[in-house]
Amino acid sequence: MGQKVGVVGTGFIGPVHVEALRRLGVEVGGVLGSSPSKSDAAAQKLGLPKGYASYAEMLSDTEITVVHLASPNRFHLGQVLAALEAGKHVICEKPLGMNTQETRQLVAAAKRHPKQVTAINYNLRFYPHNLQARSMVRSGAVGEVLHIRGSYMQDWLLYPTDFNWRVLASQGGELRAVGDIGTHWLDLITFITGLEVESVMADLYTVHPVRQQPPQSSLETFSRQKGRKKPAATPVKIDTEDYASVLLRFKGGQRGVLTVSQVTAGRKNAIEYEIAGSKQALAWQGERPEELWIGGRNEANRILLRDPGLLSEVAAAYTSYPGGHAEGFPDTFKQLYKAIYADIGAGRPSKNPLYATFVDGHKALALCEAILASSKAGKWTKVKY
């Protein structure tokens, strides 16, 4: 494709970007960690030609045309702005910024660079069945959307000894469970249905108001802790939520409800939704991504298994394997980048891309701020986009 990529971030998700890019045949020129030694170690582990000593060094590399940001949230604003000024295309992990003040700046910056592709890494859009659900809703097969329910559950922060930089508002933002995983669900639902959330009523709950922070560095996301000797820890007051319940009102009058938790034992990465329409209902679970449940009033319910021969044209275009050959989480990154790099190859963003743009990233932060304000006030709160 003629592009060379620099990836920022060597934790859980950065290497996922690298793998997906390689599967597409996109060359990864190097990686940047939180220190030169971590950059070198990650480059060696991932088989990449270079570990950059600094972000400035990566941006000054004229061979790098695209930057993937898988860095902590608080760095996104400065890193995105610098990359755009350096003439690079930018794919940024969510959230786009720490608040809407930052995301408005980034939306404006993207407009100043109209030939550079700017995308948010909402990969869940690219499960084939989510594209299929979108096609069914948009075609009218489901009928009028009446209401939506869903949840996103994990257990990696179940214990008070579980710690990660995301639990601190100063590093990840004031919303954590909602900001980290709830925004994935909200983006997915608005992507599938085309609906926009008008107002919210939220209840946020911090299960562990104090957590134990290990010395020097936090534990990695989803790291395996069983059997590991834990060093002496420091009690830290937590100012972000472990759980959230959010009522939604959409423009047009539809209703919805979302539950988010990072403290539900046994739920590793369990996202699900059910869309109730006037003709049919659709339901999907991320831990069983090959199945789309289709409910009927006067006919038998059915399960549509992922098979490109049975999917809509758009969904089939982002399905690489025949039915019965499972496609999962890593494949969503590959398919997302397939869409993004088609625009990069064309020399500019397409008008209505399937991937999330900076505008979508800004809307996610506007939703987060409304959810936080609603929980504090204990009342319905309008979303200020």
Amino acid at 154: Q
Cis peptide before 95 (omega within 30 of 0): yes
Residue 202 pairs in a beta bridge with 246
The two three-digit tokens of residue 78, written as one number:
């400065």
The CATH code of domain 4-123 reads 3.40.50.720
Which single residue is written with the structure tokens 């999962």? 328
H helices of the chain, in order, are 14-24, 36-46, 55-60, 76-85, 100-112, 128-139, 169-172, 177, 183-193, 313-317, 329-346, 358-377
DSSP 210-244: EEEEPSSSPPPTT---TTPPPPP-EEEE--S-SEE
Round to whole Å and give the CA distance between 109 and 181. 26
pLDDT confidence of residue 231 = 65
CA atoms within 13 A on the CB side of 163: 22
What does the domain layout of the chain look like in residue ranges? Answer: 4-123, 124-326+362-377
pLDDT confidence of residue 112 = 98
CB neighbour burial string for 325-347, b if at least 16 within 10 angstroms, e if fewer: eebeeebbbbbbbbbbbebbeee
Task: Give the residue among 265, 308, 248, 341 at the shortest CA–CA distance from 128.
Answer: 308
Contacts (Cβ under 8 Å, ≥6 apart) of 379: 201
Task: Give the residue among 376, 371, 368, 385 at the shortest CA–CA distance from 179.
Answer: 368
Contact assessment for residue 350 and residue 114, using Cβ atoms and an 8 Å cutoff: no
pLDDT digits (tens, 9 = 90+) for 180-221: 999 999 999 999 999 999 999 999 999 999 999 998 655 556
Query: Rg of the chain's alpha carbons, rounded to an integer?
Result: 21
Containing H/E element for 255?
strand 255-261
Cα 373 to Cα 64, 120, 240, 335, distances in angstroms? 41, 24, 13, 35
pLDDT confidence of residue 197 = 98
> What CATH topology corresponds to 124-326+362-377?
Dihydrodipicolinate Reductase; domain 2 (3.30.360)
Contact assessment for residue 173 and residue 99, using Cβ atoms and an 8 Å cutoff: yes
pLDDT confidence of residue 253 = 97
pLDDT confidence of residue 232 = 82
Round to whole Å and give the CA distance between 315 and 354. 11
pTM to 2 decimal places: 0.94
Which single residue is written with the structure tokens 């350096």? 86
User: Which long-range contacts (C-beta less than 8 Å, at least 24 apart) are formed by 38-41?
Assistant: 38/10, 39/10, 41/10
CA atoms within 13 A on the CB side of 259: 10
pLDDT confidence of residue 43 = 97
Round to whole Å and give the CA distance between 8 and 83. 11
- Residue count of the chain, please give it: 385
Contacts (Cβ under 8 Å, ≥6 apart) of 295: 280, 281, 282, 283, 301
Round to whole Å and give the CA distance between 291 and 97. 34
pLDDT confidence of residue 215 = 86
Count of beta carbons in the 10 Å neighbourhood of residue 315: 23
Round to whole Å and give the CA distance between 170 and 113. 30
Residues of the chain with pLDDT under 50: none
pLDDT digits (tens, 9 = 90+) for 223-269: 555 555 656 889 999 999 999 999 999 999 999 999 999 999 999 99
